[in-house]
Amino acid sequence: MAENVSNRVTNEDLAINLMHTQLEVSLVREEIANDLRELRCSLTREMDTLNHEIDDVRAGQLDLSNMVADLKNHFYSMQASYVNIVLGKKKLKKVKWVFGVFVVDVVGVLTYMFFK
């Protein structure tokens, strides 16, 4: 085999070094592929966990929304009773009656704005 005169490296040494380098590159490539697989699995698990948390938050929002709707309905049913009480008292003056209806309307508007 011919020798490289300047640094005394033979072609055989170059071939051996090339085979070592190719082996190391294939090992590194395999290691990177394994790391990518692990990363994908980890990201998939994290995304699943986040999706479950989002579903729980949405369910909580739905429960709150239903509770607010129930409170509004209950308040509106009480509002009618209050108006009946105000209108039922014939001894009250008209000013008190108007004031009572006005208070009921203001409270209704404020409740609507608060729960909207």
pLDDT tens series, the chain, 116 aa: 445 556 687 889 888 898 999 889 888 999 999 999 999 999 999 999 999 999 998 888 888 888 888 888 877 777 777 766 666 665 555 656 566 666 667 777 777 776 76
Q: Is 22 inside any structural domain?
A: yes
User: What pTM was computed for the model?
Assistant: 0.46
The range of the structural domain enclosing residue 60 comes to 11-115
pLDDT reported for residue 1? 44
Helix (H) or strand (E) holding 77: helix 11-88
Q: Is 5 inside any structural domain?
A: no
Contact 86/97 with Cβ under 8 angstroms? yes
Give the total number of structural domains in the chain. Answer: 1
Quick one: how far is CA 11 from the chain centroid?
A: 62
Q: Is 1 inside any structural domain?
A: no
